[in-house]
Amino acid sequence: MQIKKINLNHSLIFFLFCNICSFLFLNADSPIISPSICLVLILIIGVSHGSLDHIKGKKLLKIFQLQNVLIFYLAYLILTISIIILWLIIPVISLIIFFIVASFHFGKEDAQFLINENSYLNQLLFFLKGSLIILAPMYFHFDETIFIFKLLFIENEFFFAILSFIESSKILIIGIILSTLSSVYLFIKKYELVKFTLFFDYFSIIILNYYFTPLLAFTIYFCFLHSTRHIISLALELDQKSFNNGLIIFSKKAIPLTLLTAAFCLISLYFLNNNYDLDSSILKVIFIGLASLTFPHILLEYLIERNEK
């Protein structure tokens, strides 16, 4: 119950934060927060929520009765590099798969602390709920979102024609309505007051994407809602008696992999900047980099969850 109360308070604070930010930028033609700042926030806060994967990896090795921790690091690294290579070879398919996986991941991790059942229906509801992260920027800022896709090596005109059809035929709003209904259903099913978290999160995402650019909206959501929520759960796992102490332990354990990931990102940015302008290079590092880290992170969570059950 402690994690539910903490996450409810967190969601309420985040909702108020989004409203304050939207009010401050209400009369601004374009709120200017550079991609560089977004990258720094993602590297410091966003990436850190997966920085205990090496600890979970050791736990997975024990499940499979393996002792050499290098096996985990090698497998994790190979999968990460493979995702980057696949993105360069088949960017459209990689983007679509990333959308599907990310929608489910965001929806599940942002709601599973409220939902005990792991049914197929709930899995579908998690996917629909998380799809709002993908659909909202396309609905409110379609042209800017398409511009980002093109920076991610997406050059298939047929793919963009399909997206234009989706945008013009109101499919996006239908998807947002389905996402809304999924949150409503999860709320009314076995009602608890703490489930207002779902609505605070929903309206926060809508506000962010209405007022801010896709990159800024995603950065704020990813760092201060999704990642922070995951860090909260990890802190409570590390010390169930003292959340503050758990947070301190997490910070210390997260530093090594966070710094290592940041170093790789900065090295990639250096080489990309030789051929592209800085902002374009940053967008490539953020989204392709996150995709390459998301797949092994989700796979690790899935394998541990499945084998523990």
> Domain for residue 27, yes or no?
no
> Domain for residue 21, yes or no?
no
N residues, the chain = 309
On the 0-12 / 13-18 / 19+ scale of CB atoms within 10 A, 153 is middle
Q: Which long-range contacts (CB under 8 A, 24 or more apart) does 276-281 make?
A: 278/35, 278/36, 279/34, 279/35, 280/151
Please check the confidence at residue 200 and state whether its pLDDT lies above 90: yes
What does the pLDDT average to over 121-150?
96
Structurally, the chain folds into a number of domains equal to 1
Please check the confidence at residue 309 and state whether its pLDDT lies above 90: no
> Domain for residue 186, yes or no?
yes
User: b/e string for 206-230 if b means 16 or more Cβ within 10 A?
Assistant: bbbbebbbbbbbbbbbbbbbbbbbb
What does the pLDDT average to over 5-16?
94
Cα–Cα distance measured from residue 73 to residue 5, given in angstroms and rounded to the nearest whole number? 35
> Domain for residue 187, yes or no?
yes
pTM of the entire predicted model: 0.92
Answer yes or no: are the C-beta atoms of 64 and 50 closer than 8 Å: no
Please check the confidence at residue 77 and state whether its pLDDT lies above 60: yes
3-state helix vs strand vs coil in the chain, percent to 5: 80, 0, 20
> Domain for residue 225, yes or no?
yes
pLDDT tens profile 234-291: 888 888 888 889 989 998 888 888 888 889 999 999 999 999 999 999 999 999 999 9
> Domain for residue 18, yes or no?
no
**Segments forming the whole domain that contains residue 270:** 2-7+37-308
Alpha carbon separation from 91 to 99, 150, 154, 291, 298 (Å, rounded) = 12, 10, 6, 11, 20
> Domain for residue 24, yes or no?
no
For the chain, the average pLDDT equals: 90
The reported pLDDT for the residue numbered 66 is: 85
Confidence tier at 82 by pLDDT (50, 70, 90): very high
> Domain for residue 12, yes or no?
no
User: Considering only CA atoms, which of 1, 10, 64, 2 is closest in space to residue 197?
Assistant: 10
Cα–Cα distance measured from residue 158 to residue 160, given in angstroms and rounded to the nearest whole number? 5
